[in-house]
Amino acid sequence: ILLLAPEGINGTICGQRQGIDNVVSFIRGIKGIGQGLSYKESFVSSNTLQQGPFYRMRVRLKKEIVTLGVDGADPLKTVGTYVDPKDWNKLISREDVVCIDTRNTYETQIGTFKGAVDPRTESFREFPNWVSSNLDPKKNKSVAMFCTGGIRCEKATSHLLNQGFENVYHLKGGILNYLKEVPSSQSLWDGECYVFDERVSVNHNLQMGSFEKCRACRRPISEADKKHDMFEEGVSCPQCYNQYSEEQKKRFRHRNKLVKMAKARGDTHLGSDARPKKMRKLREQELGKLADLTPDMAIAEKKKDSGDAKSSI
């Protein structure tokens, strides 16, 4: 999945080495976007996830990469102090520093930094209200924040600075960068890190974790959750059992039945492999053409297709 907004680009992709390199090179060649591109890598075995971490490719255009819902929070103009992973432990261990997890409850419940404050938000839009109710610029002189990859907490620091907080810090590259750079023997991370793909979570070695995904509410579920009376595969888990109507659960059961039938036949129910063979072949041919395009060629191709050079640019 790739997210595009006026403030930049964010996302996660999976592929073979050459494919990843081609995409990164392409993005870095786009003026105004690619020059400051930074990214992190982790590896997933095809034996662990036969279809890979994603079922399909999605590109979304958004007003904000992560939606905070307040005016003025712009990391390109105002942003907190970036803290390298090697310096993070020392910072959050200080008594005068309040460490805040800017992620949502379904993420924080499976792992966070020791001693971190959990705002228990259901969406990032709730964060500004939590700040106004729980933090005070006069009392909380130093605030350190973190998130999965460093995007949400970056915007959160911009918001706090606009609210008059003075010493605002955030973990550079987020949790994933910390897990990559800091040895587990020195780590203050406790648990696993939720990720937004079919791996569901990763451990301190950035390997696929122990959680699965509830196919109804998309939240992470443990082995204990799967043994609960409220768990039904593909239909509900203890977290969402009372969230859906019987009519919705009926549809979920039908969907789960189709998934199992496809699996029994050796077919793929979701993703590009689920397309009819003729459509898959045409799609592969189109992707093959795109793989050979440079950024300039892609823009030229766009001009050619649209017949309007100004509007395509």
Residue numbers annotated as active site: 147
**Phi, psi at residue 10, to the nearest 5°?**
-150, 150
Query: How far apart (Å, rounded) are the C-alpha atoms in residues 299 and 290?
Result: 12
Place of tokens 């997210």: 3
Cβ 176 vs Cβ 200: under 8 Å:
no
Sequence-distant (6+) residues with CB within 8 A of 308 are none
Cβ 157 vs Cβ 170: under 8 Å:
yes
Give the tokens for residue 207.
């390997």
From residue 16, give the alpha-carbon distance in Å to each of 12, 46, 95. 14, 11, 45
Query: Which residues are bridge partners to 56 per DSSP?
Result: none
Query: How far apart (Å, rounded) are the C-alpha atoms in residues 16 and 265?
Result: 27
CA 170 and chain centroid, separation: 17
Query: How far apart (Å, rounded) are the C-alpha atoms in residues 265 and 9?
Result: 39
Query: Which residues are bridge partners to 112 per DSSP?
Result: 190
**Phi, psi at residue 309, to the nearest 5°?**
-60, -40
Place of tokens 């379904």: 106
Cβ 180 vs Cβ 171: under 8 Å:
no
Side-chain-facing half-sphere of 160: CA atoms under 13 Å: 32
Please count the helices (runs of H) and the strands (runs of E) in the chain: 11, 13
For the chain, give the number of residues: 313
Query: How far apart (Å, rounded) are the C-alpha atoms in residues 108 and 68?
Result: 18
